[in-house]
Amino acid sequence: MLLAVHDLRHTYGDEVALAGVDLSVDAGEFVALLGPNGAGKTTLVRSVIGLIQPTSGSVRVAGGSPARAEVRRRLGVVQQDVGFPSTLTVREIVEGAAARAGAGKDRAKAAMTEMGLADLARRRASNLSGGQQQRLQLAMGLVADPALLVLDEPTVGLDAASRKAFWATLEERRNRGTGILLTTHIVEEAAALADRIVVLHKGRVVAEGTPSELQRTLPGRRVTARTSVPAEVLRAVDGVVSVTASDGEVDIAATIAEPVVRTMLELDPTTSDLVVATAPLDDVLIALTNETKEMVA
């Protein structure tokens, strides 16, 4: 097992960030850590990459503690909110990362090419766009051919094309046996890439499984209809998680469909265009984390 996290707990003063998390990543496995803002994703990542010492519990990367520098060198990491020195070029940064990891300039060149940075090699890193800086971080992470990639919200700020290219690189790495732990709050990203999704909420793992398993194990339903029943009434019905209403059309996420369908038909027999479907994954996550859709989508 490349990454083994056991009963991990961390507090900031009185605030509990992690309340006993178990997590594992195997070689060649892509695990997405999904959850709303404040769920504890970044704290978990920072524990895994050795930036913080957890209050209790254990983290093992390839059998060793990430508090040790030689263990951290086996990781490729993309962190949030990293700015590069204004004085160093892209090439100097990637070659430096390669040299520190015991790799040569050829590996640095290959990593820059892989991440589409070859033409920007002479540019000062701080002058790159946000998306280019994310790619530069990934190039630094890939240069040593790491056993485990840990990526904290790596595609925030990327345009659609860059995001797709980023995803392709990650899939290619996974196919070559690299373990990947990715945190994201973008459901589409997790569903598209991950072998396994771990849902974190308020510092706890609230669900875990493949995207289809998550959808199957939860009785999530999506109900849409044209009705005059007010949204406030529908929100009060058992099992309803969220209601979006516009011009007489309602879009309802619910754990079960029957009560809300019955209520609509009883209060407004003219209800029409009624459709009941299995909820998409983001609705499942709303139910799991009891958050508004905006916080997870």
Partner 1 sequence: MRAMWLEIRDELVGILREPTALFFSVLMPVGFFTFFVAMFGEAWENAGTAMIVPFGTFGVLAVVLMNPGIGMADAHQRGWLRVKRVSGIPLWMTIAAKVIASIPYAVAVLAAITASAVFVGDMRFDAGEVAVVFAVLVLGVLPFAFFSVAIGSRVGANAAAAILNAILMPSAIVSGLWFPYEMLPEAIARIGSVLPTYHLARLAMAPVDGGAWLGHLLVLAATAAVGAMVATMAYRSARL
Minimum CB–partner distance for residue 82 and partner 1 (Å): 4
Does residue 285 touch partner 1 according to CB under 8 A?
no
Does residue 149 touch partner 1 according to CB under 8 A?
no
Task: Extract the tokens encoding 164.
Answer: 């797709």
Q: Which of 32, 33, 97, 187 binds partner 1 (CB under 8 A)?
A: 97
Say how far apart CA 86 and CA 73 lie, in whole Å: 24
Q: Count residues contacting partner 1 (CB under 8 A)?
A: 26
Nearer to partner 1, 97 or 281 (CB): 97
How many other β-carbons are positioned within 10 Å of the β-carbon of residue 173? 22
Minimum CB–partner distance for residue 36 and partner 1 (Å): 23
Does residue 79 touch partner 1 according to CB under 8 A?
yes
Minimum CB–partner distance for residue 48 and partner 1 (Å): 10
Does residue 164 touch partner 1 according to CB under 8 A?
no
Does residue 176 touch partner 1 according to CB under 8 A?
no
Nearer to partner 1, 123 or 204 (CB): 123
Minimum CB–partner distance for residue 49 and partner 1 (Å): 5
Minimum CB–partner distance for residue 91 and partner 1 (Å): 12
Q: Which of 86, 246, 270, 272 binds partner 1 (CB under 8 A)?
A: 86
User: Interface with partner 1 by CB under 8 A: which residues?
Assistant: 49-51, 69-70, 72-73, 75, 77, 79, 81-88, 92, 96-97, 99-101, 137, 140
